[in-house]
Structure 1
Amino acid sequence: MSKETEGQSDVTCESLDQSELVAMIELQLSEMDMLQSMFPDPRELEVDDPSVLCDLRDFAEGRTLLLPPRLDLVINLDGRLSMSVNLPHHYPAVQPSVFVRSQTLNRDAQHRLNQELLGYLKTLQQGDLCVGPAVTWLQEKGETFFDDCPEEVSKSDDNLVEIKDTKFARLWIYSHHIYSKVKRKDILDLSKEFDLTGFCLPGKPGIICVEGLSRNTEDWWHKVRSWNWQKILCKKHEDMEITAEQDLSKLRRFSTFEELGSENNIRVKSSGFHVDMGDVFRYLENHESGYVFKEYFGINGRPT
């Protein structure tokens, strides 16, 4: 995990009573013990950074006053449903960030599943642990979303684009930092789910570009910005009208969505999270987007 907390919420930890914060983290740890007994296979319960659990125990037991990073985890159920969870420090006083995805559900069914799960979580008593109940709900209700689930429109039909959405959009996102492996995986998975192309550059700062149908970019952005971030904003929003005869792929500057690194000829320093900005500028230039470098960093770019 990062050296600093992956995000800040609207309720700051500094505003919380120390004993209350310790009590909340103790509850988180008790729930994690329960989840680990339910899912002993590490492929079923994936903790983004297992050392965070040790840090949380040290904080709860008074061995350190340094507040650890937040806990990110993924719970994989029956090979078909995967639930990503981010626990704020003040959980369970507030709800965690929870999102379920599936490789076999179409987008409408997946959206409906997440909305119904969110509705269920809102029925729970405020202050109660809810990750365990969310798992139980998914185990009981999840299978029903696969019943009579129509297949997605094939990719070959994508250029016929239900031209109900008549706009193509490109979003340029800036984040204070992107370190979390869970967030990075979720960004990649969501981009695939919404048929978006572009890139994610992890590190500090983190930058993301997504492009595709306007409604898809809006849905993607709505989900991503709801996660816990220290700072995240859309630096630039570009859109254009789609005519009935246009090939959607011709509007794209990126052929896929990818995480940038050495495989894209971007030199990464030893820390793994600091890159050569000249290489980033060159990558943008190669995708007709060099102008956005100044939007991100306030200076004109140049290759090194």
Structure 2
Amino acid sequence: MTKLTQDQLQDHLQMQLTELESLQSVFYNPGEIKIEDICTLADIKDYVNNKTTVSPPYLDFTINVVVDHLKFELCVTLPHEYPKTEPEIFVRNHKLNRNKAVQLNKDLNEFITNQEKGEPCIFSAVSWLQDNSSEYVQVEQEETPPKNNTADEKYLRYWIYSHHIYSKTKRREIVELAHQLKITGFCMPGKPGIICVEGTTTDVIEWWQTIKSMNWKKIFCKVVEEDQLEEGRAFLKFEKFEEVVFQNSGVKFNHMDMGELFRFLEERSLGYIFKDLFGVDAKSSHS
């Protein structure tokens, strides 16, 4: 999409504020709607009211929707272009069977895609969830079969490239799901967003299927590395999964310091992947 003018961005943000106020008038009980960062909301209001010319971050909020005594978290990120473009929206509920949760998110985002562009659609998304969520309810069993932890278990490493990773709810989900599945690696938010996940084949694939079911502008697995030598855990380069930020002088981490990213990778003997991810040698990242 063409870069927005200040007037266009102000118009879009004003519509976002109006929609948020309408949502808050309906979901007014404590905890029903949560704004991820109150400072972001203040920044948006300042921009709309010509108190600043610095573009604010994206607006993140979560709506807790209860259907048949089961709570669904509807996580919403509104890009600057919204409502002219689709919101980033997904549902999380860790009590549900993960396959059903993935399908629910795919179907919800298909519904959103089919809505009229230029019109606010969060109320419609809530209504769809209230009407359809019961079809996906398949609560995870309390006892799950033990995983195969034999010494010859295969390991994978996925290198994932996203147009951007700004949403606080997505960033939290990326980390929490990795922790649940005992996956290691890192997530670098900003523009572009880079994620490295490594672990057993089953866990890495399950993590990726869940994360990519969210509504992204652009996300894909760019490089896959396999434990071809059957080295087991020696293949893994990270001790845990964490979010890492290599912020340069850009405003509100619009862009990361690629030189710092390269050094981070080099420390783990992974510097070779830089060219595969970005198509340039690491030296070019400083220019």
Structure 1 length normalisation: TM-score?
0.65
| Other-structure match for 1:119 | 110
Deviation at 1:221, TM superposition (A): 6.2
| Other-structure match for 2:183 | 197
Percentage of pairs with the same residue = 31
Match of 2:205 among 215, 238, 245: 215
1:191 alignment partner AA: A
Matching of residue 134 in structure 1 with residue 111 in structure 2:
no
User: Equivalent residue of 2:146, what SS?
Assistant: helix
Q: Structure 2 vs 1, CA of residues 31 and 235 (structure 1 numbering), >3 Å: closer, same or farther?
A: same
1:86 alignment partner AA: T
1:74-113 mapped onto 2 (5 Å cutoff): 74-78=62-66, 80-113=71-104
| Other-structure match for 1:63 | 51
Deviation at 1:185, TM superposition (A): 0.4
Q: Structure 2 vs 1, CA of residues 217 and 169 (structure 1 numbering), >3 Å: closer, same or farther?
A: farther
Aligned pairs, how many?
260
1:39-58 mapped onto 2 (5 Å cutoff): 39-41=27-29, 43-58=31-46
Deviation at 1:234, TM superposition (A): 5.8
Deviation at 1:233, TM superposition (A): 7.4
Per-residue Cα deviation, 1:4-27 (whole angstroms, up to 9, x for no partner): xxxxxxx1433x5x5443332221
User: Equivalent residue of 1:75, what SS?
Assistant: strand
The question of whether the paired residues in 1 share the 8 Å contact of 2:171 and 2:189 is answered with: no
Deviation at 1:102, TM superposition (A): 0.8
1:151 alignment partner AA: Q
1:37 alignment partner AA: S
CA–CA separation in structure 2 for the residues paired with 1:76 and 1:157 = 32
The question of whether the paired residues in 2 share the 8 Å contact of 1:235 and 1:296 is answered with: no
- Where does structure 1 lack aligned partners over 5 or more consecutive residues? 1-10, 161-165, 262-270, 285-289
- Where does structure 2 lack aligned partners over 5 or more consecutive residues? 246-251, 276-280
The question of whether the paired residues in 2 share the 8 Å contact of 1:46 and 1:75 is answered with: yes
CA–CA separation in structure 2 for the residues paired with 1:47 and 1:91 = 17
1:141-290 mapped onto 2 (5 Å cutoff): 141-146=132-137, 149=139, 151=141, 154=144, 156-159=146-149, 168-173=155-160, 181-192=168-179, 195=181, 197-200=183-186, 202=188, 208-211=195-198, 212-213=200-201, 215-216=205-206, 218-219=208-209, 222-223=212-213, 227=216, 236-240=223-227, 257-259=241-243, 280=264, 284=268, 290=269
2:175 alignment partner AA: L
Q: Structure 2 vs 1, CA of residues 47 and 260 (structure 1 numbering), >3 Å: closer, same or farther?
A: same
CA–CA separation in structure 1 for the residues paired with 2:207 and 2:56 = 33
User: Equivalent residue of 1:154, what SS?
Assistant: coil
